[in-house]
Amino acid sequence: MGPPRRPLAWTVAVALLCVVLLFPLYWMFVTAVLPTSQVLSREPTLLPALSDISFRAFASAFARKPLATWLTNSLLVTVGATALSLVIAALAGYSLSRFRTRAQELTGLTLLLTKMLPGSLIVIPFFIMATTFHLIDSLWALMLANAAVGVPFATWLLKGFFDGIPRDLEHAAMIDGCGHMTAFLYIIIPLARPGIAACAIYLAILSWSEFVFAKTLINDQARWTITTGMVSFIGEHGIDWSALMAAGIISMVPMIVLFLLLEPFLVSGMTAGSQR
């Protein structure tokens, strides 16, 4: 649809809508930067004075909890799982895009099945498998679990991107004496870079947010991820809301930055299936 009659007024209206929709995030920030006396108030100030703002809660969040350790663990798991499922999905997505095999007919069904399987259910067999292989409390187990969950959707997404690249390109290279794998690595992969980037960011957001596997497969506090760590704040007597919100902001910033980069791909590229 084209522009509305008064485009600027439309912008203002949508901006106001965003203010309402994103109020929870705004309130998180306000809570993190205000002193406790104002946070624990029956009459909270919706627009705090600039002079009241302090970033002490961020420092105290790091001092009170091993946030740095949890963030590092989350980073390791996220990078490992994303890289692993991306490689697996790129190979499979290419195969499904270029060759008609039995597996091609099963991909839709597989994707649909993963959308029906609850995380709190598959964690039971994952827990049993991790116990069998002595992988409880190992970040490797978490990495593998997250990678496995990411593969079906990433494959489906990348297949779509490969479908958009003309076959003639690798055929030309193969006529020139290139092997099929070489053609794939040096011609197709560089062309699919935007799709691969979008897919990587999507996978990273999923791994970073993952909670049920991290909670069940890891007991050792030194190996917790940021999500398990954040939840451990809740049970405490007299929650320090400023520190909790500050920790929450720190844990979310990487994903929000990634999301703002990914968003154009989301709208242009995919319609169904973007929700795990």
Shortest Å distance, C-beta 182 to another protein: 12
**One symbol per residue from 22 to 51: x for binding another protein (CB under 8 A), - otherwise; what is it?**
x-xx-xx--x-------xxxxxx-------
Question: Is 50 or 116 the residue whose CB approaches another protein more closely?
Answer: 116
Decide if residue 82 touches another protein (CB under 8 A).
Answer: no
Decide if residue 134 touches another protein (CB under 8 A).
Answer: no
User: Residue 27 corresponds to which tokens in the numbers above?
Assistant: 């309130």
Query: Which residue of 81, 96, 157, 246 would you call a contact of another protein, by CB under 8 A?
Result: 96
Closest CA to 76 of 208, 174, 198, 220: 208
CA distance 119 to 149: 9
User: Residue 109 corresponds to which tokens in the numbers above?
Assistant: 């069904």
CA distance 139 to 144: 9
Decide if residue 195 touches another protein (CB under 8 A).
Answer: no
Of the CA atoms within 13 Å of residue 23, those in its CB half-sphere come to 6
Q: Spell out a b/e string for 56-77, using b for 16 or more CB atoms within 10 Å of the CB, else e.
A: ebbeebbeebebebbbebbbbb
User: Residue 1 corresponds to which tokens in the numbers above?
Assistant: 């649809």
Query: Which residue of 63, 100, 166, 238 would you call a contact of another protein, by CB under 8 A?
Result: 100
| Candidates 49-57, 58-66, 189-197, 207-215; binding stretch for another protein (CB under 8 A) | 207-215
Shortest Å distance, C-beta 103 to another protein: 5
How far are the Cα atoms of 48, 167, 176 from residue 163, in angstroms, in the given order? 52, 9, 22
Question: Is 139 or 214 the residue whose CB approaches another protein more closely?
Answer: 214
Query: Which residue of 77, 162, 227, 243 would you call a contact of another protein, by CB under 8 A?
Result: 227
Decide if residue 169 touches another protein (CB under 8 A).
Answer: no
User: Residue 47 corresponds to which tokens in the numbers above?
Assistant: 């627009």
Shortest Å distance, C-beta 23 to another protein: 8
Decide if residue 79 touches another protein (CB under 8 A).
Answer: no
Decide if residue 18 touches another protein (CB under 8 A).
Answer: yes
The tokens 């996220």 sit on which residue?
Answer: 78
Decide if residue 132 touches another protein (CB under 8 A).
Answer: yes
